Amino acid sequence: MDSQQIFETSHMISSENLDIRTITMGISLLDCIDSDSDRACQKIYDKITNKAKDLVKVGKEIETEYGIPIANKRITVTPISLIAAASGDHDYVKYAKALDRAAKTLGVDFIGGFSALVQKGFQTGDEVLINSLPQALAETNYVCASVNVGSTRSGINMDAVKKMGQIVVDSANLDYMTNTKLVVFCNAVEDNPFMAGGFHGVSEPDVVINVGVSGPGVVKTALEKVAGESMDVVAETIKKTAFKVTRMGQLVGSVAAEKLGVPFGIVDLSLAPTAAAGDSVAEVLEEIGVSQVGAHGTTAALAMLNDAVKKGGLMACNHVGGLSGAFIPVSEDAGMIKAVESGALNISKLEAMTAVCSVGLDMIAIPGDTSPATISGMIADEAAIGMINNKTTAVRVIPVPGKKIGETVEFGGLLGHAPIMAVSNETSDKLINRGGLIPAPVHSFKN
Amino acid sequence: MKAILSVIGQDKIGIIAQVSNLLAKKEINILDVSQTIMEKEFVMMMSLEIPQNADFQSLTESFNKLGKELEVEINLRNSKIYEAMHTLD
């Protein structure tokens, strides 16, 4: 082994914040369905705590033996709307609490899957689940929820879009932190290990291990060495760096899967920031050449970054999946926070950026008096970008009651803090109140 | 298990001696050593054979402690992490 390479790896871990963002165990709950909801919840608790009993322990063992930090250990489950529908209950808070208890027992960081997929229409379980969201999220600590309201194949369910605007506001009124645990998706993926949008899709194996890698700090450091060189060199540098980072994810995932006796699913090739300095996607974009994120050219830089990360990572692992790309959450990224505070970055620019990167309007704090229809409008716009461009998009906005534009809200931990951002003062009510289904775009007919 | 011990930091007298001494105490065999100055820092890599029944956690803690005393960064890692990153098999 070349000592230069060992030095490089050590440096990436110690000084450039390279980590494995998450080891996520996906667990199917289809065999826990029961018409008696108490019995179903017991089965759910038992299955999760049995299958994942060693997850945290194995994660810690890997951290020690390989000396690579694993930021989170998480669980995803089958969308609860599918599991709970058999019970005929009028709300699913009980199910959320069962998931929460299991997460607490196991010591995992999050459990995702309090979810519903309603891109084409509501089934009974979906409606009950969505109505339960505010209370379920307010009364649990670890449960993450998502609702898929659109897809390229089926169009956008505008009734669901309308509903979710109201749910976000209702949740905020109970506790604004609830919305940090709720994502509204278009084209949600079934093997995503990242929260809050992770769930275990019905086409997945019974139990599976998925891994999410990170490493914006590593990419930034690599780019510092090619300052002033052409974009070709920049793209090539990002590809090579992404390859190395992803190899680490592949190794950690396969070791974890082997130790847990579970198949290894996918590596999510991502650049996920944290609020710590030197671990920021925004700083990578600034290294590529914009003085601050939000400047003209930011979208182009992000598009190139996202593509190069995928190209570099694809060869590094057996199976790639999840969301794979660069994340641009505001509150979790020191550079993004700075850009919003200085006025360089606003929601319109962020929306444009979501057209070329992973996910969407993520961890954005907005004024507490934002109307439900305005939030639905934001959801509709993002869903449309996802639907037309055949990609995943999402909205995770956080109205903070009593806060106005320019004030700051603290979320704590990995979630960071966020300045309250301005939303449009014009209304979207008429559009949102139409309801119905936006038809699938013509390019869904690819057979 | 093959592991790599890396020592990175400000150069000073006795780093190699003290690290080797601790390894001997823990009955760990050194397979290979290389030492150089990289980016103005003292950099030593040791390839080690760690006994199967060794407690990695307590080994890591011992080396962290020694690292603090010597004011250098000492990391002990399964060598697979380096191979994974830099070699294709």
Q: Give yes or no for a contact between A24 and A212, defined as CB atoms under 8 angstroms apart.
A: yes
Q: Specify the length of chain A in residues.
A: 447
Size of interface A-B (CB pairs under 8 A): 70
Q: Note the pLDDT of residue A1.
A: 65
Smallest Cα–Cα separation from B8: which of A110, A14, A159, A89?
A: A14
Kindly give the confidence (pLDDT) of every residue in chain A, 447 residues in length, as a single tens digit, with 9 standing for 90 and above: 688 888 888 888 888 888 899 999 999 999 999 999 999 999 999 999 999 999 999 999 999 999 999 999 999 999 999 999 999 999 999 999 999 999 999 999 999 999 999 999 999 999 999 999 999 999 999 999 999 999 999 999 999 999 999 999 999 999 999 999 999 999 999 999 999 999 999 999 999 999 999 889 999 999 999 999 999 999 999 999 999 999 999 999 999 999 999 999 999 988 989 888 788 999 999 999 999 999 999 999 999 999 999 999 999 888 999 888 899 999 999 999 999 999 999 999 999 999 999 889 999 999 999 999 999 999 999 999 999 999 999 999 999 999 999 899 998 877 888 999 999 999 999 999 999 999 999 876 665
Quote the pLDDT of residue A294.
96
What pLDDT was estimated at residue A265? 95
pLDDT of residue A447: 59
DSSP class of residue A79 equals: -
Report the distance separating Cα A272 and Cα A365, nearest Å.
19
Residues of B with Cβ-Cβ distance to A6 under 8 angstroms: 4, 6, 45, 82
Chain B contact for A10, CB < 8 A?
yes
d(CA A186, CA A354): 12
- Could you tell me if B38 lies within 8 Å of chain A, comparing CB atoms? yes
Q: What is the pLDDT of residue A330?
A: 94
Q: How is A222-290 classified by DSSP, letter by letter?
A: HHHTTTT--HHHHHHHHHHHHHHHHHHHHHHHHHHHHHHT--EEEEE-EE---SSTT--HHHHHHHHT-
User: How many angstroms from the chain centroid is the CA of residue A407?
Assistant: 25
List of chain A residues whose C-beta atoms are within 8 Å of the C-beta of residue B60: 64, 67
Q: Using pLDDT thresholds of 50, 70 and 90, give the confidence band for residue B54.
A: confident
- Chain A: give the shortest CA distance to residue B40, in Å: 13
- Check CB contact of B79 with chain A, cutoff 8 Å: yes
Q: Do A9 and B76 touch (CB under 8 A)?
A: no
- Closest residue to B47, CB basis, from A1, A5, A14: A1
Q: Is A69 on the interface with B (CB under 8 A)?
A: no
CA–CA separation, B83 and A254 (whole Å): 14
Nearest to B45 among A6, A61, A244 (CB): A6
pLDDT, one tens digit per residue, over A136-188 is 999 999 999 999 999 999 999 999 999 999 999 999 999 999 999 999 999 99
pLDDT at position A444? 62
Query: With 90 as the cut, is the pLDDT of residue B37 above it?
Result: no
The Cα angle at residue A213 between residues A65 and B65, in degrees rounded to 5? 30
Task: State the average pLDDT for chain B.
Answer: 90
Q: Does the pLDDT of residue B31 top 70, yes or no?
A: yes
Task: Using an 8 Å CB-CB cutoff, list chain A residues near B83.
Answer: 1
Identify from B82, B87, B89 which residue to disrupt to test chain A contact, counting A C-beta atoms within 10 A and taking the largest count: B82
